[in-house]
A and B are shown apart, each in its own frame.
Chain A
Amino acid sequence: MLELLAQTGLNAVYAASYISLVAVGLVLIFGVMGVVNFAHGELFMAGAYAIVALYADMHVPFFVAVAIGLVFVGCLGLLMEKALFRPLKDNPLGGLVASIGFLMILQALAVMGFGVRMEHIPPVTQEVIAFSDKVRLPVARLYVIVAALVLLSALWYFLKKTKFGWALRASAQDPEAAALQGISITQTAKIAMFIGAGLAGIAGALTAPLVSVNPHMGHSVIVTAFIVIIVGGVGSLEGAIVASVAYAIVHTFVTTFYDGVLADIVGLCLMLIVLIVKPTGLFGSADRA
């Protein structure tokens, strides 16, 4: 029993890692651009397909492929900012519809390029860290956990300690005042889009060998990310991380001990309860609501 608990705990840490990478990107985009990016799950999917194309088909070394995937998805983010979100700045519903349109385009491109079937990706490494007979952590999952820790710490440092990071947070808090201080809103929007999309891309790329890659894999990712950002408080990066961990623990344990559908129901119920009791989320500030 103890071993089962430990193993489930490890699974939860892995789940929390990639969920937080996706959710933090979504929060960053919402904070700076004020738009709900429905295509975020498809950016995750694009990262996974970068691995299919580069690593599985063209035999590029895995980590090189991941790096290229990150830059590629980041550039998709820049494209979205320039083509969709900047022209629709004063139309929040419009940004949402445009991102749904973009989502359909990305999905269609994946279907046309790779077909609807599941992709087989050769495992990156078969190595497993065995704590005991039944408590084992595949190294491929460890990569995801390490990447989340490193990238989120780097993002924290960037936002809190560098000039760009300060500018980014300022334009998230009050775009007009930030613009008056000489901060280029377009510039910060670009940076936020690149980082936000890139985080989703790298999460997709790193998890690609571990999950079933298909053109519609983004759906469950975006649902999870929405739950997490609501529970954490829309616009709060710390909240997104804390909520990712909490959601991953609850979801993994309910899945292990009951079943996956019930875990989804429990997750959604948690989110509804948070919305009812404290609509601004656990870490959200009242004035952004």
Chain B
Amino acid sequence: MPKFMIWIAALAALIALPHGLSFSQQEILVFLTINVLLVASYRLLTLTGEWSLGHVVIMGVGAYTSALLTKKFGVFVPVSMLMGGVAAALIAVLLSFPLFRMKGFYFLIGSFAAGEIIRLLWKRFRDPFGGAKGIKGIDPMPDFSIGFYQFDFFEPTSYYYFAGFIVIICLWILWRIEKSPVGLTFHAVHWQDKLAQASGVNVRAYRTLAFAIASGFAGISGALLAHYVGTINPNAFDIDLMVFVLTWAIVGGTATFYGPILGCVVLTVINEIVLRELGLEQMRPLIYGAIMILSILFLPNGLESLVQKATQKRAGNGAAQRSPAE
């Protein structure tokens, strides 16, 4: 079972990973883990062909909901995270009524406007959202022990294991959804919307469903973030982060499940670790911008196209008798 062995090895590598890193790199690793879920949920939305600029604000909805639930009502933290995701999905369903009257470029701008409105409402109303300063002193995850490992959530390593566990479960669900008949219908809605409609698919309902599911997982990632950093404000969910999510997805490529995740990991490692280590602090945005331009000019199908090329070559050399693998 070589494939099984690969998964075990990958898991072991992920568990060992933080122990070789410095404290600040461990913190980056936590953010990276959360962002992986964010960008993977974004891909589910792009499956139906829509590119939203409101996804990060939806993530913020999850963060705000979970933070307020724990702060005002004393809800147990992991439960509040789940409810953050539910709230984000509900907001998405609400937003789908105006937004799905639009397509393409108009949807892009419309989703941006809707997101900005939500963000500015947080800014404007000090009660309960805390205004421009946001919410401080959000309850952390309560520490607990599973016998051989003591979870202390002020340690980034502990939170990395916890967030990683949640993110892997979420990714697995997202993967199952994509491979299910529902996921195939999402593809159909994107590439053959007229045909899908003619075959009795309620295109609008499936677009809303994709939007709600994607938003729900974005909300969970937001809640994970809120209970790690302990303070959230409207500027944490502004267009700057959205632009990063968009670039991760596009630089990685959205044809495969792993494309956006690959983009997120590679660009974050380049931006946060390589450029920092090289001492190019001020030049980071410049080099990042240049990388974005170069990759879109010379690698229009994303980093995933490199992986596909590499694996195809290997499959061609090795197993000719196998049926065409995915």
Known contacts A219-B239, A261-B124: A104-B106 contact under CB 8 Å: no
Quick check: B293 and A98 within 8 Å, CB to CB? yes
Quick check: B124 and A98 within 8 Å, CB to CB? no
**A264 cross-chain contacts in B, Cβ below 8 A:** 116, 120
A265 to B125, CA, bound (A): 12
**B300 cross-chain contacts in A, Cβ below 8 A:** 91, 94
Quick check: B110 and A265 within 8 Å, CB to CB? no
**B198 cross-chain contacts in A, Cβ below 8 A:** none
Quick check: A275 and B113 within 8 Å, CB to CB? yes
Is B187's CB within 8 Å of the partner chain A?
no
Which of A46-54, A147-155, A179-187, A226-234 touches B? Answer: A226-234
**B51 cross-chain contacts in A, Cβ below 8 A:** 93
Residue of A nearest to B250 (CB): A97
Chain A 251-289 near chain B by CB (<8 Å), digits 1 or 0: 000000001011011001101100110010000000001
Quick check: A109 and B286 within 8 Å, CB to CB? yes
Quick check: B120 and A265 within 8 Å, CB to CB? yes
**A91 cross-chain contacts in B, Cβ below 8 A:** 296, 300
**A262 cross-chain contacts in B, Cβ below 8 A:** 124
Quick check: B106 and A268 within 8 Å, CB to CB? no
Known contacts A100-B246, A102-B289, A103-B289: A272-B113 contact under CB 8 Å: yes
Quick check: A272 and B112 within 8 Å, CB to CB? no
- Contacts of A88-108 to chain B: CB distance below 8 A: 88, 91-94, 97-98, 100-105, 107-108
Is B165's CB within 8 Å of the partner chain A?
no
> Which of B101, B124, B288 has the most chain A CB atoms closer than 10 A to its own CB?
B124
Interface of A is mostly: helix
**A261 cross-chain contacts in B, Cβ below 8 A:** 120, 123-124
Is A129's CB within 8 Å of the partner chain B?
no
Quick check: B106 and A108 within 8 Å, CB to CB? no
A50 to B178, CA, bound (A): 50
Is A87's CB within 8 Å of the partner chain B?
yes
A130 to chain B minimum Cβ distance, whole angstroms, is 35
A230 to B112, CA, bound (A): 12
Quick check: B106 and A271 within 8 Å, CB to CB? no
Quick check: A112 and B283 within 8 Å, CB to CB? yes
**B123 cross-chain contacts in A, Cβ below 8 A:** 261
Quick check: A275 and B110 within 8 Å, CB to CB? yes
Using C-beta atoms within 8 Å of the partner chain, give the interface range for chain A: 35 or more
A101 to chain B minimum Cβ distance, whole angstroms, is 4
A276 to B108, CA, bound (A): 13
Residues of B within 8 A of A (CB): 51, 98, 101-102, 105-106, 108-110, 112-114, 116-117, 120-121, 123-124, 239, 243, 246-247, 250-251, 282-286, 288-293, 296-297, 300
> Which of B106, B108, B113, B297 has the most chain A CB atoms closer than 10 A to its own CB?
B113
**B102 cross-chain contacts in A, Cβ below 8 A:** 275, 279
**A289 cross-chain contacts in B, Cβ below 8 A:** 106
- Contacts of A183-235 to chain B: CB distance below 8 A: 219, 223, 226-227, 230, 234
**B116 cross-chain contacts in A, Cβ below 8 A:** 223, 264, 268
Quick check: A104 and B113 within 8 Å, CB to CB? no
**A227 cross-chain contacts in B, Cβ below 8 A:** 113
A107 to B282, CA, bound (A): 11
Is A111's CB within 8 Å of the partner chain B?
yes
Residue of A nearest to B287 (CB): A108
Interface pairs (19), CB distance under 8 Å: A94-B250, A97-B247, A97-B250, A97-B293, A100-B246, A100-B289, A102-B289, A104-B286, A105-B293, A108-B286, A112-B286, A226-B109, A226-B112, A230-B109, A261-B120, A261-B123, A265-B124, A269-B117, A276-B101
Residue of A nearest to B117 (CB): A268
Quick check: A104 and B285 within 8 Å, CB to CB? yes
A101 to B293, CA, bound (A): 6
**B284 cross-chain contacts in A, Cβ below 8 A:** 108
Is A84's CB within 8 Å of the partner chain B?
yes
- Contacts of A129-147 to chain B: CB distance below 8 A: none
**B109 cross-chain contacts in A, Cβ below 8 A:** 226, 230, 271, 275
**A234 cross-chain contacts in B, Cβ below 8 A:** 105
**B105 cross-chain contacts in A, Cβ below 8 A:** 36, 92, 234
Known contacts A93-B250, A234-B105, A264-B120: A105-B286 contact under CB 8 Å: yes
**B239 cross-chain contacts in A, Cβ below 8 A:** 219, 223
A94 to B106, CA, bound (A): 17
Q: Within the complex, which residue of A98, A112, A259 is in contact with B297, where a contact is CB–CB below 8 Å?
A: A98
B254 to chain A minimum Cβ distance, whole angstroms, is 10
Quick check: A105 and B112 within 8 Å, CB to CB? no
A250 to chain B minimum Cβ distance, whole angstroms, is 15
Q: Within the complex, which residue of A93, A111, A265, A279 is in contact with B101, where a contact is CB–CB below 8 Å?
A: A279
Known contacts A84-B293, A226-B112: A111-B282 contact under CB 8 Å: yes
A36 to B243, CA, bound (A): 14
A206 to B193, CA, bound (A): 48
Residue of B nearest to A91 (CB): B300
Quick check: B293 and A87 within 8 Å, CB to CB? no
**A223 cross-chain contacts in B, Cβ below 8 A:** 116, 239
A247 to chain B minimum Cβ distance, whole angstroms, is 13
**B286 cross-chain contacts in A, Cβ below 8 A:** 104-105, 108-109, 112
A227 to B109, CA, bound (A): 9
Q: Add 17 more A-B contacts to A94-B250, A105-B289, A261-B123 (CB < 8 A).
A: A84-B293, A93-B250, A97-B293, A101-B291, A101-B292, A107-B285, A108-B284, A111-B285, A223-B116, A223-B239, A230-B113, A259-B124, A262-B124, A269-B117, A272-B98, A275-B101, A276-B101
